[in-house]
Structures are given as structure tokens and as C-alpha cells.
């Protein structure tokens, strides 16, 4: 059971917008630690999508965006594409655990 | 961009140990954080610890303390992760992942680049 809670699954049709939530607490996101998002597609290594709340590394399309509010964070994908299908994870630091933590992950299905 | 190349797949017996290597290209190895993350079948990503080679002294989450050892060789730009007391629950793909450079926040420790992954299978 992760200290960062993500819904197990979301789905959307091509072209639609989907939102991934990541709910933490005062010992992690609520303590203003940066939140990062990763995409993990089948058969590949995870990929950094968003860091520091809403910064995209070079090469990540602007269809991906992030935000943070209090002890929660969100990732939004607009213009959903079939190749976006996979698992998405949030990550930050937890001061009670004194270490880095991932959310449980959300599986995206493109209908 | 830094690239990480990991060693090949391993099959191990329960109770044994495994050591996975991760070789970095580029000249930032010593000053970047090298982490180890695993993903077991049907599970999520799990952080196993990290090291900054120029400082030494790896950090581990409580769950893995005493069972994982992370080391780094600055001469060969290679990091290692050794996991002992293997059980079937340690069957997973193990990744090394690095982070650093301008704007890097040590506390939240993002993973900028990843190795290709090493499958470790524990079976009798």
C-alpha cells in the first residue's frame, strides 16, 4: 500500500482528455516536495514525463501537463493517442519514510 | 544525454543473491544520483535505494535495509545493486535510473534517464 494513492485505471477515446490523480499527505506532497510523473509502456523502461509539478523534459509533447494543490497532484493528457496506453506513476519524497516513494500507478486504456 | 546499460537477465535460486550492474556513458556519473527501481509482475514501481558516486554512502528505504547493497565505481562509471536472501517475490525487472544537473532537487529525486532493465527470476 503506497503512501501516494492513484486510481487503478482510467480510460478514454482517442482525442479525448484524461486526468490522473495522485493523493498524498502532509509528509510528502503536502510538505511541498516536488512531484514527478512517469510513463511506463509495456516492454520499455519508464520515462520521465513531468517534473517539478509542471515541467516537461525535452522531447515530451505539450499534450502532457501537471499540477499540484495542497497534498495532491494531477497529470493531464489532452488529445489522447493509442500509443499513450500504459501505466502512469507519480513520485516524490516522504519525510516520514525518509525516502523516495511512488504511487501505486494508474493503467490507461485507450478505447 | 547520459545512457545507462545494464547487465543481462539472471535466474537465481531462493536464498541466493544477485548482483546487477549499470554502466553509464558521459561524464556526469560521479555527480548524479544513481537509483535502483524494480517492478514485479502485476505490481507498481518500487524504489530500492540510491547513491551519488562522488559522495559514496548509499541510502535505502527501510523495507530493503540489510538486504540491498548499492555501490558505484567511479573509474568504470558503473553502479551495482546486490540483493540477498532472494525469494520468489523478488522476481521482477530491475532498473537503474539516474538524475542530476541544473534544477535537480535532491530531496524529491527525479529519475531523468533509465537503463533498459534486467529481468531477475527467482525459482527453485
Q: What is the dihedral of CA A24, A27, A30, A32, to 10 degrees?
A: -120
Mean pLDDT, all residues of chain A = 96
Q: What is the pLDDT of residues A71-98, one digit of tens each?
A: 999 999 999 999 999 999 999 999 999 9
Q: Give yes or no for residue A111 having a pLDDT over 80.
A: yes
Q: Report, as an integer, the average pLDDT of B54-60.
A: 93
Chain A contact for B109 (CB, 8 A cutoff): yes
What are A5's strand-pairing partners?
A23
Distance CA A104, CA A89 (A): 7
Q: What is the pLDDT of residues B25-43, one digit of tens each?
A: 988 898 999 999 999 999 9
Q: State the pLDDT at residue B28.
A: 87
Chain B contact for A105 (CB, 8 A cutoff): yes
Distance CA A24, CA B10 (A): 36
Q: Give yes or no for residue A53 having a pLDDT over 80.
A: no
Q: Compute the nearest-CA separation of A24 from chain B (Å).
A: 14
Q: Give yes or no for residue B1 having a pLDDT over 80.
A: no
Amino acid at each position: 500500500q503506497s503512501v501516494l494513492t492513484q486510481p487503478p485505471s482510467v480510460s478514454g477515446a482517442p482525442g479525448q482528455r484524461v486526468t490522473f490523480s495522485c493523493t498524498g499527505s502532509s509528509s510528502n506532497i503536502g510538505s511541498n516536495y516536488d512531484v514527478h510523473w512517469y510513463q511506463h509502456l509495456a516492454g520499455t523502461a519508464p520515462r520521465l514525463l513531468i517534473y517539478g509539478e509542471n515541467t516537461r523534459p525535452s522531447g515530451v509533447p505539450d499534450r502532457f501537463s501537471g499540477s499540484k494543490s495542497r497534498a495532491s497532484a494531477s497529470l493531464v493528457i489532452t488529445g489522447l493517442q493509442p500509443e499513450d496506453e500504459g501505466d502512469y506513476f507519480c513520485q516524490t519524497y516522504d519525510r516520514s519514510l525518509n525516502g523516495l516513494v511512488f504511487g501505486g500507478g494508474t493503467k490507461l486504456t485507450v478505447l | 544525454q547520459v545512457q545507462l546499460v545494464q547487465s543481462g537477465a539472471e535466474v537465481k535460486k531462493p536464498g541466493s543473491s544477485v548482483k546487477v550492474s549499470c554502466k553509464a556513458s558521459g561524464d556526469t556519473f560521479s555527480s548524479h544520483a544513481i537509483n535502483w527501481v524494480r517492478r514485479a509482475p502485476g505490481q507498481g514501481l518500487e524504489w530500492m535505494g540510491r547513491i551519488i558516486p562522488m559522495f559514496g554512502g548509499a541510502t535505502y528505504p527501510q523495507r530493503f535495509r540489510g538486504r540491498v547493497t548499492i555501490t558505484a565505481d567511479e573509474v568504470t562509471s558503473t553502479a551495482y545493486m546486490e540483493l540477498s536472501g532472494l525469494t520468489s517475490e523478488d522476481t521482477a525487472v530491475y532498473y537503474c535510473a539516474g538524475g542530476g544537473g541544473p534544477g535537480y532537487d535532491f530531496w524529491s529525486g527525479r529519475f531523468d534517464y533509465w537503463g533498459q532493465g534486467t529481468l531477475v527470476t527467482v525459482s527453485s
